[in-house]
Structure 1
């Protein structure tokens, strides 16, 4: 028994490491793309990979729902069936708007969008796997699912990139890799879900409503994190969009580097008695990592630029710290808002929507999009202002026992899993 407990504790501490490994693996595809593709095609590839970011919304949503339901033994009889239908519907939605995507991103063909759509069902099934492992506290399975998802998407994307030297090949390869990863995890996932007694009182409507709420929380963040890159692809020339895409790698690194902090502290954030202490600890940790990333890019910009893009963008090094500032600020804001979600304070999501509206207004109404540097500087300013507001609200929050009792009574309390970078 002692060895078993020790093993469980060990695997739990490895969850953040698995998340970091998956994130680091994803950058292999970015780096290889920067070296194998010309500037215009590189920007095109990064724009399509941002489409996959949006495609992960159903995955993160179902992960949240499955985690809560397996943890509370409220698994309905149609959970897996609904998950499959959500994956198919997500793919269909992308295909339905594919003409608009191709036109907006100035893509040469539909195949890249098709690859992005095909990623959705596999991502949803992998979300079910991670949610079931988290809800059942099977940390070993969770680590395997997280790493396997990273390996599948990156290995498939790299293979497609090497074979085709095109953005479409990278996306189609990613879809194949994710499908293989989902197939490997299907058996363990069904066994974990089967450990919870089926609750026949759980209607499909309730499952769908809960998934929509979770999708809103995850989706609005993923939309904001990919909006600037999508707009850059739309308004800049091919080479300028490629320059922005190279800098955007640092934006994403600064954003996703602190993600394990949320995974480690979320249980404490959900406890009303420990919430304020955990919030302060988390903000200090995430803020420290963000500051270190900004400082590193400011001091070692030339080295970082060479690692990210080789010698294709020799003038990138001077502005990398701005990308780090925007990504790091968004990471701090994300933690502050997830801290609110832990005690059912969903109103903070209005801050994220305000950022989205501000970026659209700045770039399309005010015309602050004439150069790549202008775009990222504007993003950094908007995010910084919003981050200050989110942090002030987070530090001022004082949840009570009544909040916890009310949440338990209406069944709306959610477990928000630590997210993994999906490009």
Structure 2
């Protein structure tokens, strides 16, 4: 996962240097939109991982239904994105329908990977999962770099992303190609139940990814192209800090799905994420010149004094992501409402800003308030067992008893 994150970061850094602030701002807007769209992929992954880790006796049934739902959901999402391409083209100010259509094509393999990764994660098959993550990062870097060098524009960069996204799906198919022997079936893991939980998890992750990516869309509507490009350059550091501790979330999530271990898992995971974020923030504050090399170079020099603030933003986002996964692990229903409320407030206040500093202050402030609220709610629920809607679905045997 570290190699995948470095490869993904390397792709964005290369794109920032070779495209310049104007075109790079458009690329970041598209990539952030794809991050929001990826909530279905992550919802499938969380559903598979939680169900398999909590009820390993039903792994064959869960795997079969997860793969079935994954293929259907991927195609449906691709069709929906294709129908919305004119809207995407207008909202992101791409001025290129082929580029907007390309985003719909990327969404299909991206979603397919989610179900495959979730099965491997739930079964704790770390080696093949590691290969899957490597395939999700390294090809994008190599192919994207070659294509941008050939033709430096946002459409070519997205072609590189599309080609790179197919490879992890092939890896996942090869890893899961053998059919498992039938085990114990239960009505709790029927296709309908899997779809219901996937939609719930996707809705929770949609709230988080919309919150963590809406600021660049706001920036492109309240700032000029150059200023929005500078803000996008600062977000390279924020996203690096956000995805740096991604391995903590992946490894801790199956444990957070277990009632007896979730408090300890949440505490240790938050501590690890906070320490990584603090290290990145101190580094950006003490060595801003070094940080600028990774952000995009001299063209983005205007944001050098603010890089430590972008690192703080990334730290809050990484801790918020962990708290959202903790909500998913316990199948919470109401905590995610706080994320949607914060998103609405952030957009409303962000649209009143006129500078990079003003928008950054609004985003950090909103994330900090949300973090404090979710942290308090999470520890309260972990300490005091939640009602039925905050716990995992009952098994058939428990319901019968």
- Alignment match of 1:312 (pick from 296, 299, 303): 299
TM-score (norm 1): 0.84
1:182 CA displacement: 1.4
Q: Which residue of 2 aligns with 1:6?
A: none
TM-superposition CA deviations, 1:325-347 (whole Å, max 9, x none): 11211222222332233233342
1:244 CA displacement: 0.7
- Between the aligned partners of 2:255 and 2:63, the Cα distance in structure 1 is 28
- Alignment match of 1:391 (pick from 360, 372, 375): 375
Q: Is the 8 A contact 2:285 2:307 kept in 1?
A: yes
Q: Which residue of 1 aligns with 2:256?
A: 269
1:43 CA displacement: 0.7
TM-score (norm 2): 0.89
TM-superposition CA deviations, 1:356-384 (whole Å, max 9, x none): 111111023xx12x112211111011111
1:108 CA displacement: 2.5
- Between the aligned partners of 2:116 and 2:158, the Cα distance in structure 1 is 22
Q: How does 1:356-375 map to 2 (within 5 A)?
A: 356-364=343-351, 367-368=352-353, 370-375=354-359
Is it true that 1:187 corresponds to 2:153 in the alignment?
no
Q: How does 1:121-270 map to 2 (within 5 A)?
A: 121-191=108-178, 194-195=180-181, 197=183, 199=185, 203-270=190-257
- The root-mean-square deviation of aligned C-alpha atoms, in Å, is 2.5
Give SS of 2:177's match. helix
- Between the aligned partners of 1:75 and 1:281, the Cα distance in structure 2 is 29
Q: Which residue of 2 aligns with 1:409?
A: 394
- Alignment match of 1:31 (pick from 13, 30, 48): 13
Q: Which residue of 2 aligns with 1:321?
A: 308
Q: Is the 8 A contact 1:343 1:404 kept in 2?
A: no
Q: Which residue of 1 aligns with 2:399?
A: none
1:195 CA displacement: 4.7
Count how many residue pairs are aligned between Structure 1 and Structure 2: 389
- Alignment match of 1:57 (pick from 39, 54, 60): 39
Q: Which residue of 2 aligns with 1:379?
A: 363
Change (3 A) 1:406 1:64: closer
1:163 CA displacement: 2.6
- Between the aligned partners of 2:313 and 2:134, the Cα distance in structure 1 is 27
1:253 CA displacement: 1.4
Q: Is the 8 A contact 2:230 2:302 kept in 1?
A: no
Q: Tell me, which stretches of 5 or more residues in structure 1 are unaligned? A: 1-18, 412-423
Give SS of 1:312's match. helix
Q: How does 1:100-115 map to 2 (within 5 A)?
A: 100-115=87-102
- Between the aligned partners of 1:343 and 1:406, the Cα distance in structure 2 is 5
Is it true that 1:43 corresponds to 2:25 in the alignment?
yes
